[in-house]
Structure 1
Amino acid sequence: MSSDLSSYPDLVQTLLKKRGITNAGDAEHFLYPDFERDVRDPFGILNMEKSVERILSAIDANERIAIYADYDCDGIPGATIFNDFLKKIKYENFEVYIPHRNIEGYGLNNKALDALAERGVTVVITIDCGIVDIEEADHARKLGLDLIITDHHLPQDVLPKAYAIINSKQAGDTYHDNMLCGAGVTWKLVCALLALRGEVWGVPKGWEKWLLDMAGLSTIADMVPLRNENRALAKYGLMVLRKSRRPGLLALLQKMDMNQANIVEDDIGFMIGPRINAASRMGEPMDAFRLLSAKTREEADEYAEKLMHLNDARKGLVASMVKEAHKHLEGRTLREIVVIGNPMWKPGLVGLVAMNLVEKYERTIFVWGRTESGDIKGSCRSDGTVHVVDMMTSVPEGVFIDVGGHEEAGGFSVSSDAIHTLEDELVKAYQLMRKEKENAERSVDMELTLSEVNWVNWKQIEKFAPFGMANPKPVFFFEKVKISEARFFGKEKTHLELSFENSPTKAILFFADDEKYKELKAGDAVDIIATIEVNTFRNNRELRLRIVEVVKKM
């Protein structure tokens, strides 16, 4: 072990080194996020001052402001942040606009801008969108709208001609962390506005920290790297989520039978986030905004119930789409890039299908559907061997109508003619820019025994939370443990629980569909790869293993 980390227990030293942290200073910084130290001055972000000045002049002149937000679990919490801010300062001349995913699609659109201008809007603030909307920015200018773009997606070679752009991925921005999510960027804008005028408006110092429930929610849900400032926003965001008095959050948690005080990252990724996203995938995205911004519990309950139903319907539809995709792909010779779609598939759901197919087929996947207006739109997910946005922008002009996204995931629209040759074009582009996949083998942090799954060690592991992108949960290897009981539980008996000889520790795996799990029985000796987590079911706190892989020993 490095002597520089020698003051830490062996377990902590190993986990730090696995994360590339080898000196005591970096270790201290990582293990103990500090709000004052890690959350930097918002005016360090390019164009923040110019944007703040324009918004303040709009407020002073009572101009009509539009918050134009993306329809996902980044844009909607971001819109909630700005809505809460304007309500707090008692500013009423504003509206929130969230485009319909299946009718209008992603980003700015001219019809929406026309409607906003007709309603007297003079300033449009985008949240989590706009960085690739060059034509729409020109249209906004012609309408006399001052467009302030706040976004975190990758800019392309040409930037929109907006009044101001806040996006730390743009050239010339030197902010220390360019990986904030859309709601994170919005929160920084609100912090900047309050820094200049908060006292005048009578907003208590520090009130903006209550908005971290939404910034933290998006930071985790949108899967940005949980390093640097994002790590602090996620950590403090979770702290606020556990104490938040937000009626919409409380209503949703009750419907899901979740204990607010025990919220962790997985609850956002698997429970809260999907229900927020269900609004745009299956219905009206404004319903999710109305839930999060609800002022009364009665109003919140109505929208929470709606989102629960939409999410249940979403699960069923995605399952049938995945089944259909598997059936279709089984009869195909799979190439390095796979394009699959169906005019009957909802574009709002194809990203979830792509995620499933990437895992199964270990290839970069493009999945498309057709919108209600007849446009072909889709989502893609990388298998780690290619930057999907770079690949999409490298194909010949005219193949795609529109593209956007990140390195690992993107969205696109394509013409009815080009869809037939899309896979050919992508395979050609891929062969020129493919990279070696980072170690695809399941990375194990260290080996433990079942007796080492204890609260003393958990206290050390917990210091590495919040877990997510760029900071995955530590993965442990347990060699030759003997099963005392293997049982399936849940309504459909699809979840596996293993008990072990001479140990109170249990291991679980949700949706244990693989046949090999059904063959496990008492007396089997197995190697287990798993993470450690706290189970708080029925308010009992116990440590358990979450299975990644089980290998039966002969």
Structure 2
Amino acid sequence: RAYAILNPKVDDYPEKMLCGAGVVFKFVQGFIKKYGEFYKINTGWEKWLLDMTGLATLSDLVPLLGENRVISYYGMKVLKKSPRPGLQKLLAKMKIEQKYLTEDDIGFMVTPRLNAASRMDDPMKAYELLSTDDEVKAGIIADHLSKINDDRKTMVASIMREVNKKLSARGGSAYGGENLDNLHEVIVIGNPEWRVGVLGLVAGKISNEHKKPVFVWGKDENDLIRGSCRSDGSVSLVELMTETREFFLEFGGHEFAGGFSVHNDKIHFLEEALSISYSKVKHNVEKNEVIYDIKSDLDVVNMKNWREIEKMAPFGLANPKPIFLFENVKIENIKKFGKNGSGEHLEITFSNNGKNKVKAISFFSNSESFKIPLAVDKKVNLLATFDLSRFRGKEELRLRIVDIL
């Protein structure tokens, strides 16, 4: 029997969306407040745990509002000077200067390597990295996590190639043509051979590309169909799965991400069932609506405005970076870049009719990634956020592309 159950969702607690580490941190706060003097724990000692609490809060995609915003804000401050050898070795491996660490570095660089432990190996590896005081051990684990994260990327890329073939086949036969917009309102796709641990990443990629809720499944070591789901924001996944609960053995998650297991004999009917439920619980959002915060021109892209925007950081779920709409800007140059000449990323230079040239980047993209064809000298509408690069110690203010219309 449990001595006590800590649940932030009880009626009288104001912050309902703490992540697991946030709940543990609140327990530590309460313990020190009540027993700190007895155990000779200095008041305020728990603030040095905010590096891990902040890391978890930013990684777990909980809304950065209320207490979560405070945890992530001060968590970033502690992360920038955290003495943990494992964190320092991992950042050094990625050539990230710790004092300039950002929430983007956490989301795109640090978290994927920590998650690679559970996706590809043993989750305890991530714990050992963050808890060890041994610098040699920390370096070895950091190298290992980076290696299996590369393996994870290769695996996800392979699955995505298979996904694209499957969806093209659906668009070509079952839906009367090559128009993938004719897919069901909810996409369900899977293969018994796909590794369950990476399916959340696959679901996220498909959802981003097709702007639909996506459920991706594989089979675990017990021959059970398990998977992950991601929402495009048009529906709460928990509401959607609750509406279709008879198909699931288990399910859980939150509005934007979740996990599930399914009866073997029902998996092939799940897509249609979810699509029917979708019509009942979907949010009334116009999918083709262009969403931005500020309409301006490229003259606003300067360090003064970047510093003002950074006062609202850290950014994340429910506190996104401000999106700027730059209308009728001219494409001056298009080039590919990437690790070891891979060319997997895109850099485009824009201008106001040849004046005030600004670089903009889009990771894991190419000229065909957008709704319209791109060409030098073409005028387009650009949706983008501010982005400060410190690559190889050189500061460069640029834009990060959200979309090109």
Same fold (TM over 0.5): yes
**CA–CA separation in structure 2 for the residues paired with 1:294 and 1:489:** 36
2:253–2:259: 8 Å Cα contact kept in structure 1? yes
**CA–CA separation in structure 1 for the residues paired with 2:121 and 2:401:** 35
Aligned position for 2:227:
378
Alignment partner for residue 74 of structure 2, among 208, 224, 236?
236
Superposed, 1:101-500 pairs within 5 Å as: 146-147=1-2, 163-170=3-10, 173-332=11-170, 333=175, 334-395=183-244, 397=246, 399-437=247-285, 441-490=289-338, 491-499=341-349, 500=351
Q: Which has the larger radius of gyration?
A: 1
Shift of 1:223: 1.1
Aligned position for 1:527:
381
**CA–CA separation in structure 2 for the residues paired with 1:385 and 1:476:** 22
**CA–CA separation in structure 1 for the residues paired with 2:219 and 2:94:** 32
Change over 3 Å in CA distance of 1:446–1:433 after alignment to 2:
closer
Letter in 1 for 2:73: K
1:532–1:544: 8 Å Cα contact kept in structure 2? yes
Structure 2: 5+ residue stretches without partners = 176-182
Shift of 1:410: 1.3
Shift of 1:419: 1.7
**CA–CA separation in structure 2 for the residues paired with 1:406 and 1:462:** 28
What's the secondary structure of 2:91's corresponding residue? helix
Letter in 2 for 1:202: K
Matched, 1:512 2:362: no
**CA–CA separation in structure 2 for the residues paired with 1:477 and 1:395:** 39
Shift of 1:550: 2.9
Change over 3 Å in CA distance of 1:440–1:215 after alignment to 2:
farther
Letter in 2 for 1:321: I
What's the secondary structure of 1:359's corresponding residue? helix
Deviation sequence 1:433-487 (CA, Å, 0-9, x none): 3332366523111122222212222222111111111111011122333344332
Change over 3 Å in CA distance of 1:505–1:430 after alignment to 2:
closer
Deviation sequence 1:182-214 (CA, Å, 0-9, x none): 111111111111111222222222221111001
Deviation sequence 1:468-522 (CA, Å, 0-9, x none): 1111101112233334433222212232223343325322222232437796555
Change over 3 Å in CA distance of 1:253–1:435 after alignment to 2:
same
**TM-score, normalised relative to structure 2:** 0.90
Q: Identity of aligned pairs, percent?
A: 48
**CA–CA separation in structure 1 for the residues paired with 2:18 and 2:286:** 24
Query: What is the alpha-carbon root mean square deviation over aligned residues?
Result: 2.0
Change over 3 Å in CA distance of 1:364–1:250 after alignment to 2:
same
Deviation sequence 1:259-312 (CA, Å, 0-9, x none): 111111111110001111110000100111111111111111111111111100
Q: Say which is worse superposed, 469-478 or 484-493, in terms of deviation.
A: 484-493
1:384–1:438: 8 Å Cα contact kept in structure 2? no
**CA–CA separation in structure 2 for the residues paired with 1:525 and 1:422:** 44
**CA–CA separation in structure 2 for the residues paired with 1:386 and 1:302:** 42
**CA–CA separation in structure 1 for the residues paired with 2:296 and 2:132:** 47
How many residue pairs match? The answer is 388
What's the secondary structure of 2:38's corresponding residue? helix
Structure 1 stretches of at least 4 aligned residues deviating more than 6 Å after TM superposition: 516-519
Shift of 1:168: 1.9
Change over 3 Å in CA distance of 1:406–1:477 after alignment to 2:
same
**CA–CA separation in structure 2 for the residues paired with 1:357 and 1:417:** 25
1:275–1:307: 8 Å Cα contact kept in structure 2? yes
2:85–2:130: 8 Å Cα contact kept in structure 1? yes
Letter in 2 for 1:166: L
What's the secondary structure of 1:390's corresponding residue? helix
**CA–CA separation in structure 1 for the residues paired with 2:373 and 2:248:** 47
2:385–2:401: 8 Å Cα contact kept in structure 1? yes
**CA–CA separation in structure 2 for the residues paired with 1:337 and 1:486:** 35
**CA–CA separation in structure 1 for the residues paired with 2:369 and 2:144:** 38
Aligned position for 1:541:
395
2:9–2:15: 8 Å Cα contact kept in structure 1? no
Deviation sequence 1:14-38 (CA, Å, 0-9, x none): xxxxxxxxxxxxxxxxxxxxxxxxx
Deviation sequence 1:192-249 (CA, Å, 0-9, x none): 1111122222222222111100111111111111111111111110010000001110
Aligned position for 2:179:
none
1:213–1:237: 8 Å Cα contact kept in structure 2? yes
1:184–1:215: 8 Å Cα contact kept in structure 2? yes
**TM-score, normalised relative to structure 1:** 0.67
Change over 3 Å in CA distance of 1:521–1:261 after alignment to 2:
same
Deviation sequence 1:134-162 (CA, Å, 0-9, x none): xxxxxxxxxxxx43xxxxxxxxxxxxxxx
Change over 3 Å in CA distance of 1:467–1:324 after alignment to 2:
same
Letter in 2 for 1:280: S
Shift of 1:352: 1.0
Shift of 1:423: 2.4
Change over 3 Å in CA distance of 1:325–1:516 after alignment to 2:
closer
